Amino acid sequence: AQSVTQLGSHVSVSEGALVLLRCNYSSSVPPYLFWYVQYPNQGLQLLLKYTSAATLVKGINGFEAEFKKSETSFHLTKPSAHMSDAAEYFCAVRNAGGTSYGKLTFGQGTILTVHP
């Protein structure tokens, strides 16, 4: 079974500060990993994805994430937070095969607050 753990249900940063949202995964096979963002009263938007190519993945809105197999981590970062980054962020892992092929397993989510 695959699982995702997001450390910290709430993260608060000042505008212009570094954003770091932590995600650790558990998978018996090489995973596909994703970060999604959910703004209030909206659906999920894909930020970036890791699909076994480059370990450093760049996404939209200046976000990036690094896949570290040795640490089973896929942390999301942004060098400088903007007020518009305030949202909830979900890390997800995809099942690569079996009867649950394609199924996404989500972490619990991290709410990012950005202070002026």
Q: What does the binding site for other proteins look like in residue numbers (CB under 8 A)?
A: 32, 34, 36, 41-46, 49, 51, 90, 94, 99, 102-109
Indicate the residue among 102 and 116 with the shorter CB distance to other proteins.
102
* Distance separating alpha carbons of residues 94 and 104, to the nearest angstrom: 5
Minimal distance in Å, beta carbon 52 to other proteins? Answer: 9
User: Which among 68, 65, 55, 71 is positioned nearest to 19, based on CA atoms?
Assistant: 65
Indicate the residue among 48 and 81 with the shorter CB distance to other proteins.
48
Indicate the residue among 61 and 80 with the shorter CB distance to other proteins.
61
Burial (Cβ within 10 Å: 0-12, 13-18, ≥19) of residue 63: buried
